[in-house]
Chain A
Amino acid sequence: MKHLPASATALLGLLACACKPSESAGGDSSTGAGTPGGVPLVSELPPELIEGTPKPMKVPNLEPAAKAAPEFLVPEGTTLLSAGKPVTSSDDFPLIGDLTLVTDGDKNAGEGYFVELMDGLQWVQIDLEQSQPIEAVWVWHFHSQKRAYHDVIVQVSDDPEFASGVTTVFNNDYDDSAGMGKGGDRPYVETRFGKVIDAGGAKGRYVRLYSQGNTSNQMNHYIEVEVHGAPAS
């Protein structure tokens, strides 16, 4: 490791700048922004250190936050609706695996357990075969590596084309890169415990899940998707 010359560092400075007040939601521009009306704090910033080849990461998922499966309460009588149900996708020819893997009940992480869709914004869609209230969608994209999927958007509808009557139950596209509107949900790192999404009883026959690549590569993966709800009477 080597430092850059001091002349380079001398030009660097830290300014704990403020956000434009007019653009701060709720007028709360003070959080972490220092003293309102104060003067800029200036300091020297350290330059980058030139390093050798980073170590390859071939370790199991190290996600520290999730040490147990998430606890999520649902109405009594809620059952798994999606087991073995037909799955369609925006990618008719998955690069790896096939779409039946999405609802086959197997949540292992290795080869042969996931379907890989091509790069870009892609979706899978589960046909529950009848319209019913959905309490939760539990999704495992890929968990043999520490990664997060981008633009995870989950929608429910009775329209197989999702042109009308669409309820969005989850959207973590914080920069609108999917072009479907910014979402308020937080991105998350994949773990073997999956992600439980509160569907809030949204009623529909079809559940569609979007994603747009992940933090490791541009592809989209699904190991399993479970849709839980009250069975139609």
Chain B
Amino acid sequence: MKTALILCWLGTLAIAAFLRFDGLAARPVHADEATGARITAQRLEGSYRFDPTHFHGPTLNLAGSVAARAGGAGDWASFERLPLRAVTATAGVLLVLVPLLGRRRFGDPPMLLAALFLATSPLLVYYSRMYIHEMLLALFALLALFSAERGRAVALVLAGGCLGLMFATKESFAISVLAWAAAAAAVAAIEPAGLATAARWIRRHARPLALAAGGAALVSLAAYTDGFRQWSGAVDALRTYFVYDLSEGHEKPFGYYLGLMGLPHRSGGLAWFETPLLLAALAGAAAGFGPPARDPAVRLACRFLAFATLGHFLIYSVIAYKTPWLAVVPWTHAAVLAGFSSCWLRGGRVGAGRPSRIRTAGAVGAIVLVAAAIGLQFLQARQATGIHASDGRNPYAYVPTSPDLEELAPWLETILSHSTDPQQAAIAVVGPEYWPLPWYLRRFPRVGYWAEAPEALDRFPLVCATGELDLFDSHVPLPRGLRDGVPMTVWVRNDFWEASR
């Protein structure tokens, strides 16, 4: 039995790693990955300063700079995407292993099932493969929960450290703290004498809780002040909650996340759904109120996770600014809750009171359903990260980059090779919202970026324009992809165009 369990955990780990690392560098670089990489390069080059108005906390670029340096990068031009994405992919794999911490308390079946849901969720797989903050935030959040759940002093201090890392990763950690506090209050309120018990527990653990708070403050302070060297970062870490700039254009209706994660939908002829995980999470929530709740640990965990998941989704749904990656932390909670659906099988609770034949059939049916759900998730994850990884019809591929850009640099190099001095030939980028273009042009020595057309634009051999320009007398316009539904025009000066033909 023990060997079988070890094999199951290893198999789950293998699935998680395969889904996250297979072809990791293939997808075009997303605009947010490109800006994240640029900020990471600033850290590597010594010019990074935390910006409270945008771009979130420093842990991502801190980890990314270590990975980039390990990958041989020394400056922006030498950056590669694989080391950067390896940071979040590794976080995604570690996330899957976090339920191991709950084995003793809850047993292997719910934790293993939670790990399987975490390993195969298309949303979690997709954003493990993208160099943005969400997977680090989800990892620290789940580590904080599982550490806190153990209740011991050392574990509480570790949970505090994880909270500090969450704070240093993204300001939306406050949403998690709020959702957790509300969930804990709700659980205590419906438990008999729950509030009094909670108050006693807090009094008994006052010292480790204070240490945990101190640990959280210390970790986040170290991150925001760049190792206690830039003290303005400490103020900016708090100021960010008042000055953060939410860019326009991402407002969506209240039910966006329910539609994205809960309901099957078709997009461009492709079917997308994570409904099985949601159904399993509902079964997990029900376990907190049904016969499995006779086990106090299961009852408290299921109820807390159910309220915390609901709280997260409610808060994120109320906020008008919505992107699919903001569902990562709430969905991580849902996946763990889904693991507790297995508690209905424990002790023959499926079909309890029925003849044993029916109970066995019920258990087998439930296992088949769960296997089918995991299998479907696996296939969806492969679909989301394979050929449709940067396709606008993929619901996770938000504002995806056109695959066109992958071939842009070699083509521009070919054109500039006709210059009398290719190293000196300049490229102009004109117009708004041109990211991730700077990633793809990072190795060209002379690139300028303008919001409006500068003077003497007609002298540039190459002009990449995201808006409209009138260079018809001097250049040839060629449409190339930038992002989904957003072509740009590459204007090639007439003499270079003729020479390249």
Contact = CB atoms under 8 A, between A and B. Distances in A.
Interface of A: 1-2, 4-5, 7-8, 12-20, 23-26, 28-34, 40-41, 45-59, 64, 95-97, 111, 116, 119, 145-148, 150, 174-175, 177, 182, 184, 186-189, 213-219
A50 B35 contact: yes
A65 to B, nearest CB: 10
Nearest to A64: B468
B446 A13 contact: yes
B426 A32 contact: no
B487 A146 contact: yes
A30 B493 CA distance: 10
B470 interface: no
Interface stretch (B87-95, B211-219, B327-335, B415-423): B415-423
Interface in B405-443: 407, 411, 414, 418-421, 424-426, 429, 433-435, 438
A96 B267 CA distance: 11
30 contacts: A15-B424, A16-B456, A17-B421, A17-B461, A28-B494, A31-B474, A32-B459, A32-B475, A32-B493, A45-B448, A46-B450, A48-B38, A48-B447, A50-B35, A52-B245, A54-B31, A55-B249, A95-B269, A145-B485, A148-B480, A148-B487, A150-B404, A187-B479, A213-B403, A215-B480, A215-B487, A216-B392, A216-B484, A217-B391, A218-B403
B460 interface: yes
Contacts of B487: 146-148, 189, 215-216
Given A17-B420, A97-B269, A25 B501 contact: yes
Which of A28, A54, A97: most chain B Cβ within 10 A?
A: A54
A54 B474 contact: no
Contacts of B355: none
Interface residues of B, number: 77
B398 interface: yes
Interface string B6-32: 000000000000000000000000011
Nearest to A97: B269
B239 to A, nearest CB: 15
B493 A33 contact: yes
B29 to A, nearest CB: 13
B450 A53 contact: no
Contacts of A12: 446-448
Contacts of B403: 213, 217-218
B419 A177 contact: no
Nearest to A18: B420
A84 to B, nearest CB: 23
B421 A15 contact: yes
A145 to B, nearest CB: 5
Contacts of B420: 17-20
Contacts of A57: 483-486
A15 B425 contact: yes
B269 A189 contact: no
Interface in B279-332: 323
A54 B435 contact: yes
B51 A2 contact: yes
Contact of B481 (A47, A52, A216): A216
Contacts, number: 213
Given A15-B421, A50-B35, A217-B391, A32 B250 contact: no
Contact of A45 (B55, B447, B479): B447
Contacts of B249: 55-56
Given A47-B449, A146-B485, A213 B494 contact: no
B408 to A, nearest CB: 11
B3 interface: no
Contacts of B498: 24-26, 28
A48 B444 CA distance: 13
Nearest to A188: B479
Which of B39, B391, B402: most chain A Cβ within 10 A?
A: B402
Nearest to B475: A32
Contacts of A19: 418-420, 461, 493, 495-496, 499
Contacts of B426: 13-17, 45
Nearest to B392: A216
Closest 9 CB pairs of A and B: A45-B448, A55-B249, A215-B481, A16-B459, A96-B269, A25-B498, A32-B474, A148-B479, A57-B485
Contacts of A16: 426, 456, 459-460
Interface string B248-286: 111000000000000000101110000000000000000
A186 B493 CA distance: 15
A153 B391 CA distance: 24
B23 to A, nearest CB: 14
B345 to A, nearest CB: 39
Nearest to B249: A55
A111 B270 CA distance: 10
Given A95-B269, A217-B484, A24 B495 contact: yes
A28 to B, nearest CB: 7
A182 B499 CA distance: 13
Given A15-B421, A33-B493, A51-B435, 11 more contacts: A16-B456, A17-B424, A20-B420, A47-B448, A52-B35, A54-B483, A177-B407, A184-B501, A187-B479, A214-B481, A217-B390
A176 to B, nearest CB: 10
Contacts of A56: 249-250, 398-399, 484-485
B411 A175 contact: yes
Contacts of B482: 215
Interface string B204-245: 000000000000000000000000000000000000000001
A46 B47 contact: no
A213 to B, nearest CB: 7
